[in-house]
Amino acid sequence: MLAQEIVQSVQAGQTSPGEVVRAYLERIERLEPRLRAFIRLNPKALEEAQQVEERLARGEALPLAGVPVAVKDNICTRGLPTTCGSRMLEHFVPPYDATVVERLRQAGAIVVGKANMDEFAMGSSTEYSAFGPTRNPWDLERVPGGTSGGSAAAVGADLVPLALGTDTGGSVRQPAALCGVYGFKPTYGRISRYGVVATASSLDQVGTLARSVADLARLTDAVSGHDPLDSTSLEVAPHFQMALQTPAQGLVVGLVREALAAGNSPGVLEAIERFRQVMEGCGLRFVEVSVPTLDYALAAYYIVNTAEISSNLARYDGTLYGLRVPAEDSITAMMQSRERGFGPEAKRRILMGTFALSSGYYQAYYGKALQARTKLKADLDAAFCQADLLLTPTSPFPAFRFGEKTADPVSMYLADIDTVAVNLAGLPAISIPAGFEGSLPVGVQLMAPPLGDERLFSVAHAFEEATGRAFARVAPLG
Ligand code: GLN
């Protein structure tokens, strides 16, 4: 079901949060062995549904009354382990809820489980989860994308109508595209990161996933807005549901030449073309734009990302929390805790980041990457003088097979070619389901200027309506 339908029927008294959650838990029990979208289910979900029933009976207005939600496992949930897909935090139980989780609860949503992810949000397939990969609901032999692969697969298979993920370089948008759902990454600062485990702090944002634009807007309205507990949080009120009423007509969309040049699979180019034709029919205008530095975005991203990771992950030293391997002296204990706690991709990035920041190389790598980041922002600003929105693929290809990219890390990094620029520039972007290649879903990505988040929803909604909701379907798993 869609979240909107659940809320309507709960509010009309036709069903109760307890019934909704029970039905979803049954569906999860049936399909989860095939998908493995969750690291852990919430044993208190039914109890919490009961509490929502009591709040409804007291007359509280709850915009997500009784809606089951999956929360990525790097977002803190009080009393429920938050592992980040890592052995390092396998037994970490947060003593508090992240602000976004608290807001979900305030809105009457039920956190039914913690979604699988690549370790510490590094990867593009969930294959780097220490607890095994999630499968794509459209083809169980293929990856769901990553790092929020558990969140995207859960929404795609309707194990939940809504999910939260995080997006440091595409981790909400890319899995959303590969699983045929909507995925939104806001302007840096629009959703609180308090209680979200840091990967790369200048890039990280929480993002939302759903199977309709109205559902996505409902969820995004519930979790965004200023939070005094996050120093990077902006004081901007959310108007996502309102944006569905704003006409998209007259907007100018820039087709980004560099992203459409070469290397995209046929189904992806077809989806871009379909999007253009449908939206021209809705009164939007398309122009070609160039963002020359886009060609350097991936290289700059993998320096900034690894540099920040090497610094953020230094806290897992076996002393305060996380895995602790006892040894005679503290240095050995630290080394062994990190050796056993981190998987190969985390280690690779810590090494790369430490190298990029080391004396003698700092200017050549980190300094250069920051220059590229500044130039990229300037190029994007210039493109936004010619167009209200920019259009690119979300991913150059649909879901790939397990093992296809794990042997060569760079081939995995290349899966992020279309998504990382948005994080480097702090922009909002959405992945819109817009076609299929064979049986595999394909998404297109729209970017907006900073704080243009709501505009993305107006356009996505217009496309959804004009195509009769043809592309964000529940995966046919039975
Ligand atoms: N795939 C990208 C990376 O590995 C993005 C990850 C993310 O957004 N968390 O860094």
Residue 91's pLDDT is 96
* Phi-psi region at 108: left, alpha or beta (left = phi > 0; alpha = psi -120 to 50): left
Compute, in angstroms, the gap from residue 117 CA to the centroid of ligand 1. 11
Give me the residues paired with residue 436 across strands: 441
Q: For residues 302-328, give the mean pLDDT.
A: 95
Q: Is 318 near ligand 1, meaning CB less than 6 Å away?
A: no
Q: In the predicted model, what is the mean pLDDT of the chain? A: 97
Q: Identify the three-state secondary structure at position 392.
A: strand
Q: Is the pLDDT of residue 209 over 80?
A: yes
Q: For residues 461-472, give the mean pLDDT.
A: 96
Domain membership of residue 312 (yes or no) is no
Rounded Cα–Cα distance for residues 338 and 34 (Å):
32
Residue 321's pLDDT is 86
Cα–chain-centroid distance for residue 180? 13
Residue 320's pLDDT is 87
Compute, in angstroms, the gap from residue 121 CA to the centroid of ligand 1. 6
Q: Which atom of ligand 1 is nearest to the CA of 123?
A: 4
pLDDT tens string 48-93: 999 999 999 999 999 999 999 999 999 999 999 999 999 999 999 9
Q: For residues 13-39, give the mean pLDDT.
A: 98
Give me the number of domains the chain comprises. Answer: 1
CA dihedral 98, 103, 105, 110 (to 10 degrees): -80
Domain of 192, CATH number, reads 3.90.1300.10
Neighbouring C-alpha atoms within 13 Å toward the C-beta of 417: 18
Mutate to test the pocket of ligand 1, among 416, 417, 424 (most ligand atoms within 8 A of CB): 416
Rounded Cα–Cα distance for residues 471 and 420 (Å):
24
Residue 318's pLDDT is 93
Compute, in angstroms, the gap from residue 189 CA to the centroid of ligand 1. 18
Domain membership of residue 304 (yes or no) is no
Q: Is 293 near ligand 1, meaning CB less than 6 Å away?
A: no
**Confidence (pTM):** 0.98
Domain membership of residue 75 (yes or no) is yes
Domain membership of residue 351 (yes or no) is no
Rounded Cα–Cα distance for residues 191 and 185 (Å):
9
The side-by-side arrangement of strands in the sheet containing 68-72 is 38-41, 110-115, 68-72, 162-167, 205-210, 182-185, 429-437, 440-447, 389-393, 252-256, 285-289
pLDDT tens string 98-115: 999 999 999 999 999 999
Name the closest-CA residue to atom 2, ligand 1.
Answer: 169
Q: Which atom of ligand 1 is nearest to the CA of 302?
A: 10
Compute, in angstroms, the gap from residue 441 CA to the centroid of ligand 1. 20
pLDDT tens string 343-379: 999 999 999 999 999 999 999 999 999 999 999 999 9
Residue 262's pLDDT is 85
Q: For a pLDDT cut of 90, what percent of the chain falls above it?
A: 99
Q: Is 123 near ligand 1, meaning CB less than 6 Å away?
A: yes
Compute, in angstroms, the gap from residue 148 CA to the centroid of ligand 1. 9
Residues 6+ apart with CB under 8 A from 240: 216, 217, 218, 220, 221, 224, 453, 454, 457
Domain membership of residue 95 (yes or no) is yes
Helices H / strands E in the chain, number of each: 17, 11
Domain membership of residue 389 (yes or no) is no
Full residue range of the structural domain in which residue 137 is found: 3-246+454-467
Compute, in angstroms, the gap from residue 179 CA to the centroid of ligand 1. 17
**Residue carrying the six token digits 């109890």:** 47
Q: Is 398 near ligand 1, meaning CB less than 6 Å away?
A: no
> Can you list the pairs that 399-403 forms with residues at least 24 positions away whose Cβ atoms lie under 8 Å?
399/136, 399/138, 399/139, 399/142, 399/143, 399/144, 399/145, 399/178, 399/179, 399/440, 399/441, 400/125, 400/142, 400/143, 401/141, 401/142, 401/143, 402/125, 402/127, 402/133, 402/141, 402/142, 402/143, 403/127
Compute, in angstroms, the gap from residue 301 CA to the centroid of ligand 1. 10
Q: Is 169 near ligand 1, meaning CB less than 6 Å away?
A: yes
Q: Is the pLDDT of residue 478 over 80?
A: no
Residue 267's pLDDT is 97
Compute, in angstroms, the gap from residue 384 CA to the centroid of ligand 1. 25
Peptide bond into 419 cis (omega under 30): no
Q: For a pLDDT cut of 70, what percent of the chain falls above it?
A: 100
Mutate to test the pocket of ligand 1, among 75, 119, 147 (most ligand atoms within 8 A of CB): 147
Q: Is the pLDDT of residue 389 over 80?
A: yes
Residue 477's pLDDT is 87
Domain membership of residue 279 (yes or no) is no
Are 145 and 174 in contact by the 8 Å Cβ rule? The answer is: yes
Which helix (H) or strand (E) covers residue 10, if one does? helix 3-11
Q: Which atom of ligand 1 is nearest to the CA of 301?
A: 10
Q: Is 310 near ligand 1, meaning CB less than 6 Å away?
A: no
Residue 92's pLDDT is 96
Domain membership of residue 42 (yes or no) is yes
Residue 14's pLDDT is 97
* Phi-psi region at 426: left, alpha or beta (left = phi > 0; alpha = psi -120 to 50): left
